[in-house]
Structure 1
Amino acid sequence: MRLGYTLAMNEEQSALTQPSAVDASAASSRETPGAATSGNRPPAAAGGSSWPGLLAGVAFIAVGALGWQVYELRTGVAQVRTEVAQRITSSEAAAGEARTLLRQQQDSLASLQGKIGALEAQVAATEGQAAALQSLYQEFSRNREDRAIAEAEQAVSVAAQQLQLAGNADAALIALQGAESRLAAQDRGQLLPLRRALVHDIDRLKATPQVDVQGIALRLEGLLEAVDSLPLAFAGELAPNAPAAGSAAAAGDVPALEFVKALARDIWHELVALVRVERLDQSEPVLLSPAQSTFLRENLKIRLLTARLALLARDGRTFAADLAQAHGWISRFFDQRDEKVQKALAALTELQTTQVRVEQPSPTESIAALRMLQARGAESGGKPTPDASSPARPAPAGKGAEPARPAANGGAR
């Protein structure tokens, strides 16, 4: 635009320095008398004098064309100036609007940055709470796992004591099955080896032949209750004589002769009772007084009670010895012709052949699995477990941090 403006100014200067058409016509009129005086010359000289006029006409036409061009150029320059001014005005208005929008955007950006800072602070607080909850959950999970392991260890210890000390496989099975069910409720992969070991020990206990302790104890209880009703071999009791007792009762109603006869029968019966003849199958008859018979029955009960205690303690030797002693006493001091005595002797003979002690397997696999879990927990106890589920987040910016604002004048022009 500046180049066109410079060209227009040069053309105007050249047009001002050029002679005008009036000056050209005056010059031609001044030269005309000379031309007229030269009319008396020969024709060759007249043909040569027409060139100045032709040149003057061409110059006039050129000056007119140049003036027209200058006029058109001025008109175009004025239009260009007007258009440029309008465009500059519209550009300045657009730049003002852009500056206004930029200030509004900067204010909005600052407000959003403040809100983002507040949200980041809330996110940081939420992350802190989540980390605290995660640590609490991990601690609670570890506590649950440790508690489950402790309960399983206690159950295995009880089962081992029942098997080794009392030989009670049923109680050991109950303890191991309870521990296995509690571990199944936990449903944790770390406890799977312990559950597998418990299941193996339970299967081994179930496969081992068991002693019917309760059944044997009930049979011994029946023998204890029957001791008081067993008849002795030498009771020394006189058979009742009903007619003699009846005659004595009715002595006041019979005549004197009948009374004498009844009295004589009573005396005879008393004399007969003094001497008693019985057939004995034993070579050494034992006569017991009432006090001795009471002591015999009590000692027999004590033997049966000690046999029951030996049964509960799985002491087969003491159990068999007590039953043999009780069998010998019953066969020696009690009447073997009685049915109760025969049943008691048969029961004692059968119980003597009963095996009350069976080698029970120890829960070794469960104990080994417990030791392995405890050792693993002791190794990983001091190492913190990072939370892989929560990704790392950048540190939130402070609330006072402001974003870099662009220059206000940089985009205006």
Structure 2
Amino acid sequence: MTDKTPATDPVVPTAAPGASAPASAPADPVKARPAKRGSGPLVTALIIVILLAAGLGYALWKQRTQFVSAGREVASRIDTLSSDVAQARKDTREALALAQAQAGRVAELEDTVRETQSQYNALQLAWQNFNDSASDELLANDVERLLTIANQQLRLAGNVSNAIVALETAQSRLARADRPRFSSLQQSINGDLDRLRAVSTVDIPAQSARIERLVALVGRAPLLVPDAAAPGVLPAGEARP
């Protein structure tokens, strides 16, 4: 069962009026508690400020550490890029020097090619002239030989037909060669051919055949010898002794 007796407050002794409290009496503990309760928030705030300062300092130190690390990394990258740029510049200078040397070499080769082409053209022209000269010499020799044959046929044999054949052969060779230097000779041969064609020719083979037939007939015909020229034959009416 619950005790329903009302609680009684402790009796606080009161000092008698006019009596003074002794000086050496201890302070009341109930009155000292409010002073302790007022200093608690200050300590808490101080601790919070210290913690915030420590956190802020740690954050600043961490940030500074990261910044220094990033700066070192960036500096390392910059050094690497600087070395790469320097190497690239060096390679570029070497490539430029090589390109200039190659350009000079190409120019020399082009000059050599042009000089060689000029020499080749000169040699080709000289060879063409030599071939033309040799061909002209051969053509001149052939025409001279044919003219000699025609002259022999006219002077020795009197054969106009063979002379015309020789001159026509010479004329055809000159026409095929088409050399301007032989144009006057070709005109002379054409004039000689016209004059020889205008001459009445004798059929030499037919005349030779007729002469051969006459010789054969003469060989078969009896010989008539005078009596005075025949040895041992007496004239008619004379008797031998």
| Aligned CA distance change for structure 1 residues 227 and 290 (closer, same or farther; 3 Å) | farther
Aligned to 1:138: 129
| Aligned CA distance change for structure 1 residues 99 and 185 (closer, same or farther; 3 Å) | same
Please list the CA deviations of residues 61-113 of structure 1 after superposition, one character each: whole Å capped at 9, or x if unmatched: xxxxxxxxxxxxxxxxxxxxxxxxxxxxxxxx9xx999986764453232122
| Aligned CA distance change for structure 1 residues 176 and 223 (closer, same or farther; 3 Å) | same
Q: Relative contact order (alpha carbons < 8 A, sep ≥ 6): 1 or 2 greater?
A: 1
Aligned to 2:142: 151
| Aligned CA distance change for structure 1 residues 287 and 221 (closer, same or farther; 3 Å) | farther
| Aligned CA distance change for structure 1 residues 232 and 142 (closer, same or farther; 3 Å) | closer
Indicate which of 101, 108, 118 corresponds to 2:109. 118
Indicate which of 118, 121, 129 corresponds to 1:127. 118
SS in 2 for 1:209: coil
Indicate which of 180, 185, 191 corresponds to 2:182. 191
When normalised by structure 1's length, the TM-score is 0.31
Counterpart of 1:164, as a letter, is R
Counterpart of 2:155, as a letter, is Q
- 1:175 paired with 2:193, answer no
Please list the CA deviations of residues 19-59 of structure 1 after superposition, one character each: whole Å capped at 9, or x if unmatched: xxxxxxxxxxxxxxxxxxxxxxxxxxxxxxxxxxxxxxxxx
Runs of 5+ consecutive residues of structure 2 not aligned to the other structure: 1-81, 233-241
- 1:227 paired with 2:214, answer no
The 2-side partners of 1:158 and 1:208 are apart by 19
Deviation (angstroms), 1:286: 5.0
Aligned to 1:22: none
Q: Please show how residues 195-274 of structure 1 align to structure 2 within 5 Å.
A: 195-231=186-222
The 1-side partners of 2:145 and 2:224 are apart by 55
SS in 2 for 1:146: helix
Q: Highest CA radius of gyration, 1 or 2?
A: 2
SS in 1 for 2:200: coil
Identity score, percent: 25
| More divergent stretch after superposition (213-222 vs 116-125) | 116-125
The 2-side partners of 1:203 and 1:225 are apart by 39
Q: Please show how residues 2-41 of structure 1 align to structure 2 within 5 Å.
A: none
Indicate which of 138, 151, 160 corresponds to 1:160. 151
SS in 2 for 1:202: helix
The 2-side partners of 1:191 and 1:168 are apart by 26
Please list the CA deviations of residues 176-213 of structure 1 after superposition, one character each: whole Å capped at 9, or x if unmatched: 11211221221222222222221221121111111122
Please list the CA deviations of residues 284-319 of structure 1 after superposition, one character each: whole Å capped at 9, or x if unmatched: x7587599xxxxxxxxxxxxxxxxxxxxxxxxxxxx
Q: Please show how residues 38-53 of structure 1 align to structure 2 within 5 Å.
A: none
The 2-side partners of 1:107 and 1:197 are apart by 71
Q: Say what the alpha-carbon RMSD is for the aligned residues.
A: 3.4
| Aligned CA distance change for structure 1 residues 100 and 228 (closer, same or farther; 3 Å) | closer
The 2-side partners of 1:204 and 1:130 are apart by 47
